[in-house]
Amino acid sequence: MRIRGRRIVGGYAEGEALISPTPFSFYGGVDPETGVVTERGHPLEGESIVDRVFIFPHGKGSTVGCYILYRMRRRGTAPAAILNLETEVIIATGCAMAGIPLLDHLEVNPLEVIRGGDHVRVNADEGYVEI
């Protein structure tokens, strides 16, 4: 299945899908040294986002989150790509700084058609996702 979306940050990546039904903050939500979700009570608490296609509705929280994404990329603990329903500035800035492919406004809701563990290819340069 191919799904078209809006390119925010270009690039190509592929990996296993990790789905969060709730918004996510990189500041305080993840350990940048390990890539493990640390936010207490978050549905993904204890899961690793390293090298996965991380799908969540939108970001939340502090502007420091963009620097956390950049730090994670430098440490090798960042997600391979990010898909959002609606990307906000913090996530867009972090992905741009870190070179993480980022799409949003997909023609179908990725939270409804992509399942955790699916192999996903993100071609943000051409604005599509393949499952």
Which one of 20, 25, 48, 62 is the catalytic residue? Answer: 62
Q: pLDDT tens digit string along 12-24?
A: 999 999 999 999 9
Residue among 11, 82, 89, 71 nearest 35 (CA)? 71
Range 105-122 average pLDDT: 97
Check which CATH number belongs to the domain holding 123 and give it: 3.50.30.10
Domain count within the chain = 1
CB 73 within 8 A of CB 37: no
Q: Is the pLDDT reported for residue 118 higher than 90?
A: yes
pTM of the model: 0.96
* CA separation for the pair 56, 67 (Å, rounded): 19
Q: Is the dihedral of CA 103, 26, 62, 42 positive or negative?
A: positive
Tokens 């990996």 locate to: 15
Domain that residue 25 falls in: 2-130
Active site residue 62: yes
Q: What is the mean pLDDT of residues 86-108?
A: 97
